[in-house]
């Protein structure tokens, strides 16, 4: 380090360093009011910090995993729908809790990650999702020169053999038609839950996701041609009172589906009831949403699921995995009963990949089992 006097009587302290990108010699400087020994020490500290910051602009292989992960997630988060952020945050917490803060990213190898993923007691699908997220992060680290190769390329998610208990759980994920009708009837029976009943029946008859249904307005329906255009899902980031339509879950989720006469009837009933409430109730919100709570805001998912579970208990269906999604599974299973082609079912419910539909499509209902026996007997077997 050296200094040079300035025109105003102060001193410019200068230090050289080598730019890691260009490999050229560059300078950093700072102005001090005197040339004293104390000024030299202070200038040295300032210049050391400036040079350190300049050198740290370039990624290096001694960076911690946590630092790179947070750097990547800050960018990745901008691509997420508001409704997806909470699930991604829980996955991130799981990853960051397992990997120590002091672990250097370039030291992580396939064995380390294989041990981590194999130790998880989660579903096969969840582990695949977690691996996919990690892979995006390591691909970013590779592009930014934090690492020289992606260690996840040699990591495999092994499908664990299903236990008898897990096989039996498949039956809990959907309802037989009689069970669905019994549950919906019970919801209609009480004034406090009939709105939940109406939305449940809509989900049962269309296979829509609840987030897609509660954001629908009259403009989304073509009653003459008996169709509904599903073009987004609810974004309740700012609360249900300020809910708005967000982007669809996937490209295939943007779809037009045909409606039965019964579906049109219950939609029209909801529209008429909402208009009557807007005229007769003070402070009732002037919204066009169809499936609302008694307060006129889009029905909350948690509230819907709680009401569903309580009704299920009253009609002895509490052995089922009761949530809004059970009607979607049930709809797909009923279409499978009718021998509707897999591709047609995928288009109707807005599934982007066949695996998702297949897992539900292969749910064998009691009616399908009976049909097999009847056909065998008719064949003389």
Are residues 328 and 197 part of one domain?
yes
Asked whether residue 295 is assigned to any structural domain, the reply reads yes
Structure confidence at residue 89 as a pLDDT band (50, 70, 90): confident
Is 331 catalytic? The answer is no
**What is the total count of domains within the chain?**
3
How do residues 271-300 score in pLDDT, each as one tens digit? Answer: 999 999 888 888 888 888 999 998 889 999
Calculate the CA 126 to chain-centre distance.
12
Is 340 among the domain residues?
yes
> Is there a domain that residue 125 lies in?
yes
d(CA 270, CA 374): 41
Last residue of a domain, one of 111, 132, 160: 160
124 and 238 within one domain: no
Please write the tens of the pLDDT for every residue from 205-222.
999 999 999 999 999 999
pLDDT at 161 over 70: no
Q: Dihedral, CA atoms, 334, 323, 189, 206, nearest 10 degrees?
A: -40
Q: Identify the pLDDT of residue 72.
A: 94
Domain boundary among 12, 34, 55: 55
**Percent over 70 (pLDDT), the chain:** 87
Exposure on the CB side of residue 274, measured as CA atoms within 13 A? 23
Q: How confident is the model at residue 365 (pLDDT cuts 50, 70, 90)?
A: low
Q: Are residues 319 and 200 in the same domain?
A: yes
How far, in Å, CA of 349 to CA of 257, rounded? 8
Q: Is 98 a catalytic residue?
A: no
In a domain, 380, yes or no: no
Catalytic member of 249, 255, 348, 351? 351
DSSP per residue, 150-199? -GGGG---PPPPPPHHHHHHGGGGS--HHHHHHHHHHHHHSTTTHHHHHH
In a shared domain, residues 175 and 39: no
Q: What is the mean pLDDT of residues 186-197?
A: 95
Look at 351 and 42; give whichever has higher pLDDT: 42
pTM of the model: 0.65
Those residues with Cβ within 8 angstroms of residue 255's Cβ, 6 or more apart along the chain or in another chain: 229, 230, 347, 348, 350
Catalytically annotated residue among 229, 310, 361, 363: 361
Q: Identify whether residues 243 and 197 lie together within a single domain.
A: yes
Determine the average pLDDT of the residues in 304-314. 96
Residue 81 in any domain: the answer is yes
Q: Given pLDDT bands bounded at 50, 70 and 90, which one contains residue 86?
A: confident
User: Is residue 211 domain-resident?
Assistant: yes
Q: How many Cα atoms are found within 13 Å in the side-chain-facing hemisphere of 106?
A: 10
Instruction: Specify whether 351 is catalytic.
Output: yes
Q: Which domain holds residue 95?
A: 65-160
Angle at 224 between CA 220 and CA 227, to 5 degrees: 45
Q: Which of 131, 198, 209, 329 is catalytic?
A: 209
- Spell out a b/e string for 113-131, using b for 16 or more CB atoms within 10 Å of the CB, else e: bbebbeeeeeeeeebebbb
Q: Are 14 and 71 in a shared domain? A: no
- Per-residue pLDDT tens digits for 124-147: 878 888 999 999 999 999 998 899
Does residue 245 lie within any of the structural domains?
yes
Which of 16, 159, 242, 316 is labelled catalytic?
A: 242
Q: Round to whole Å and give the CA distance between 139 and 190.
A: 54
Q: How far, in Å, CA of 250 to CA of 352, rounded?
A: 7
Tell whether 185 and 284 lie within a shared domain: yes
pLDDT at site 165: 61
Using the predicted structure, report yes or no on whether residue 30 has a pLDDT greater than 80: yes
* Together in a domain, 41 and 105: no
* Residue 175 sits in the same domain as residue 111: no
Do 132 and 175 have their domain in common?
Answer: no
Read off the CATH number of the domain in which 129 is found: 1.10.150.130
% of the chain beyond a pLDDT of 90: 51
Over residues 49-61, the pLDDT tens digits come to 888 877 765 555 5
| Active-site pick, 328, 329, 331, 348 | 328
Cα separation of 325 and 365, whole Å?
17
| Among 129, 325, 363, 367, the one annotated catalytic | 325
* Helix, coil or strand: residue 380: coil
- Domain identity same for 84 and 128: yes
Q: Which of 160, 191, 214 is the last residue of a domain?
A: 160
CA-atom Rg of the chain in angstroms? 30
Residue 381 lies in a domain: no
Query: What CATH code is carried by the domain that includes residue 324?
Result: 1.10.443.10
Q: CB-based contacts of 316: which residues, under 8 Å, 6+ apart?
A: none
**Same domain, yes or no: 35 and 103:** no
> Do the Cβ atoms of 108 and 114 come closer than 8 Å?
no
Question: 238-276 pLDDT, tens per residue?
Answer: 788 888 888 888 788 899 999 999 999 999 999 999 999
């Amino acid at each position: 380090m050296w200094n040079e006097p300035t025109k105003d009587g102060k001193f410019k302290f200068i230090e050289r360093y080598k730019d890691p990108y260009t490999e050229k010699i560059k300078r950093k400087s700072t102005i001090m009011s005197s040339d004293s020994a104390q000024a030299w020490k202070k200038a040295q500290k300032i210049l050391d910090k400036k040079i350190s910051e300049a050198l740290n602009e370039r990624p290096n292989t001694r960076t911690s995993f946590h630092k790179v992960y947070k750097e990547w997630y800050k960018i990745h988060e901008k691509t997420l729908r508001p409704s997806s952020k909470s699930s991604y945050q829980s996955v991130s917490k799981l990853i960051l809790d397992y990997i120590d803060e002091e672990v250097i990213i370039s030291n992580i190898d396939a064995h380390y990650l294989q041990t981590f993923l194999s130790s998880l007691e989660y579903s096969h699908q969840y582990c695949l999702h977690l691996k996919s997220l990690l892979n995006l992060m390591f691909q970013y680290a590779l592009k930014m020169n934090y690492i020289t190769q992606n260690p996840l390329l040699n990591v495999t998610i092994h499908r664990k053999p299903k236990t008898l208990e897990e096989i039996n759980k498949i039956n809990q994920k959907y309802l037989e038609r009689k069970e669905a009708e019994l549950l919906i009837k019970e919801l209609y029976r009480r004034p406090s839950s009939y709105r939940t009943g109406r939305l449940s029946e809509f989900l049962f008859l269309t296979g829509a996701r609840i987030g897609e249904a509660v954001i629908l307005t009259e403009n989304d329906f073509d009653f003459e041609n008996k169709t509904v255009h599903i073009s987004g899902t609810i974004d309740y980031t700012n609360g249900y009172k300020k809910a708005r339509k967000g982007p669809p879950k996937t490209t295939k989720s943007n779809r037009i589906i045909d409606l039965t006469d019964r579906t049109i009837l219950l939609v029209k009933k909801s529209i008429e009831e909402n208009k009557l409430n807007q005229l007769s109730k003070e402070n009732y919100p002037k919204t066009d949403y169809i499936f609302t709570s008694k307060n006129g805001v889009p029905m909350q998912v948690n509230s819907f699921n709680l009401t569903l579970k309580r009704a299920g208990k009253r009609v002895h269906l509490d052995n089922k995995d009761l949530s809004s999604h059970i009607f979607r599974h049930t709809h797909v299973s009923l279409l499978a009963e009718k021998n509707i082609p897999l591709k047609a079912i995928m288009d109707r419910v807005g599934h982007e990949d066949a695996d998702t539909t297949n897992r539900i499509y292969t749910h064998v209902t009691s009616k399908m089992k009976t049909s097999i026996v009847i056909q065998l007997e008719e064949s003389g077997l």
